[in-house]
């Protein structure tokens, strides 16, 4: 796992807007050119409009012109003392917007669980199904 990505994911936790849940999540993506793009979760009183850290980071990367093939790794972290994995909506977006074979590392209590992106959503619905 890329330690610089973990540092960025922990740093972006400070920017999470978690007025309702107080549940901070930070995500950082490493790109082929060495750049790092991070994102935090941003809540809304209309809960369905909340955006998770994983999607915030991915949407920021795409907004800056990066594409699926540019992404090489993602690291996620929270302030929780147990493993927290991406929600179902994030797993679907991650499956489409990131390569299937990149590592996704989830960090908690200085423990790391790393899986391939494709393992987060078995039998995913993808563009190949259309």
User: In sequence order, what are the residues at sequence separation of 6 or more whose Cβ sits closer than 8 angstroms to the Cβ of residue 125?
Assistant: 92
Name the active-site residue from 4, 8, 43, 54.
54
User: In sequence order, what are the residues at sequence separation of 6 or more whose Cβ sits closer than 8 angstroms to the Cβ of residue 101?
Assistant: 116, 117, 118
At 15 the three-state DSSP class reads helix
The yes-or-no answer on residue 54 being catalytic is: yes
Q: How many CB atoms within 10 Å of residue 2?
A: 17
- Which residues form the catalytic set? 54
């Amino acid at each position: 796992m890329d330690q610089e990505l973990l540092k960025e994911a922990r740093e972006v936790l400070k920017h999470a807007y978690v007025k309702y849940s107080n549940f901070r999540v930070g995500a950082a993506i490493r790109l082929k050119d060495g750049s790092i793009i991070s994102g935090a979760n941003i809540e809304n009183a209309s809960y369905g409009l909340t955006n998770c850290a994983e999607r915030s980071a991915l949407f920021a990367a795409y907004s800056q012109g990066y594409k699926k093939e540019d992404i090489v790794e993602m690291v996620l972290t929270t302030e929780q003392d147990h493993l927290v994995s991406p929600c179902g909506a994030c797993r679907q977006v991650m499956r489409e917007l990131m390569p299937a074979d990149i590592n996704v590392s989830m960090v908690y209590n200085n423990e790391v669980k790393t899986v391939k992106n494709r393992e987060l959503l078995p039998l995913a619905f993808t563009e190949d199904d259309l």
